[in-house]
Amino acid sequence: MINYIKKLWHQCFLEERSSLGISLFRVAVAFTTGAHVIPSFFHMQDNYFVTAYKRLNPNFFTVDVLELVMKSPEWLIYSLAVLFCVSCLFFLIGFFSQFSCIVMTLSCYYFYALNAFHVGTLSWDILFVTLFLMCLTPYHGDYFSMDCLKKGREAFRKKRPYFLQRLLQLQIGFIFFYTALYKTTAEGNWITENPIFSIMNYPLAGTTKWFLFRDFLKVQPELCYAIGIAIVVVEYLMIFLLFYRKTRITAIYLGCFFHILLMLTLDVPATFFFLFPPQLFLFINPDHVLSWIENKRAFNQSAQRAKLIYDGRCQICRRSVIRLEAMDLFATLEMVDLHDINDYAEVHPELTKEKTLKQICLVDVNGELYWGFSVFRRICFTMPMLYPLIPFFYFPGMGILGPVVYR
């Protein structure tokens, strides 16, 4: 029995799997946190300075902490706002991923203590749990990050203990379960009353949005009650549906649909939409995703690929190629050292050693030749990590400015 428990514990929490999923989830967490906090900085006097109307949360912080934070001068508040923005950006791009997550989380705690009126919601408290878990390890910086660029082509194959992803799975599963529990016990009234029908008849501002079938539901109390019971039943079952392999995909789709519907019908914090659906996708086995990527790489490597030609004796060029190999998730490029080429005309009629020593070049599958900055404009569509830079590469004027800066 003890051996079985040890085996189960190892399989659930300590077994090493790909960290691709948790790396993508890092982007969602950083975006959600930034989208929640940064808008509050636009009105510092109304939100955080001594002139602001403040609501404190003594149930979350000790009185001593609240009193200390209340003494913050304006320059300190501004400084920590800048610190939050920088750490949030670093966490988003995965630069010193764990450290930036810790700094960002501590900054969130500070502003939460300073005024809980603007950020102190249920979804914000849930987000704090997620942030705490993300602070525990650097696993989320293994890919889709600046930290992974020095690891070369093996970056996406990095395997880590599964406990962080498992804890995040448990969090979202129990959020559904305890939401249903609250609706049916203690102060919950979803069994004895008809809250959905009441919500449909609330004034439009501040509670419900104007959506299709709202007028129809306003006069259908029996249907509203049935929908409420169905929601409670699904929320009770979600944790079991998510962890049962045969119903997992259906549960993920159902959870995403639920949160989209929630955003379209009710005035709820955007955290529910930006964080929870990506967290549901953590139930997808990352090793299955890794296998799909490996198959895609094998297919591309067996087919004709674009050739990226570089100077293998140039240290800067070699470092650049290492970073490009880390970003080339699907092996769309064949890296070629120009010193290994015997006949340049065979690769491309216009290719010369002298020009290649000065600029990196690309020969695509159609035989088109690109130099310098144009290479990056071309490959940004084939590398997922470069997708965010597409607007930058194609910003008006970059076609003229880019080659000048590259040289």
pTM: 0.86
C-alpha Rg value of the chain to the nearest Å = 26
Alpha helix stretches (DSSP H) within 303-349: 315-327, 344-347
Residue 362 β-bridge partners: 308, 370
C-alpha to C-alpha distance for 291 and 275, rounded to whole angstroms: 26
**Using an 8 Å Cβ cutoff, are 55 and 198 in contact?**
no
Residue 309 and residue 399 in one domain? yes
In a domain, 252, yes or no: yes
Give the CATH number of the domain where residue 337 resides.
3.40.30
Residue 142 and residue 222 in one domain? no
Residue 309 and residue 339 in one domain? yes
Per-block mean pLDDT, blocks of 10 residues, the chain (407 long) = 77 82 92 89 85 81 87 90 94 92 94 78 81 91 85 74 90 91 84 84 68 80 90 93 93 91 77 85 90 89 85 82 85 84 77 78 82 83 85 81 73
How many domains, in total, are found in the chain? Answer: 3
pLDDT of residue 251: 94
Strands (E) across 36-136 are located at none
Residue 33 and residue 149 in one domain? yes
C-alpha to C-alpha distance for 383 and 297, rounded to whole angstroms: 12
Residue 209 and residue 136 in one domain? no
First to last CA, the chain: 67
Residue 17 and residue 149 in one domain? yes
In a domain, 7, yes or no: no
Domain range spanning residue 149? 12-161
pLDDT of residue 152: 63
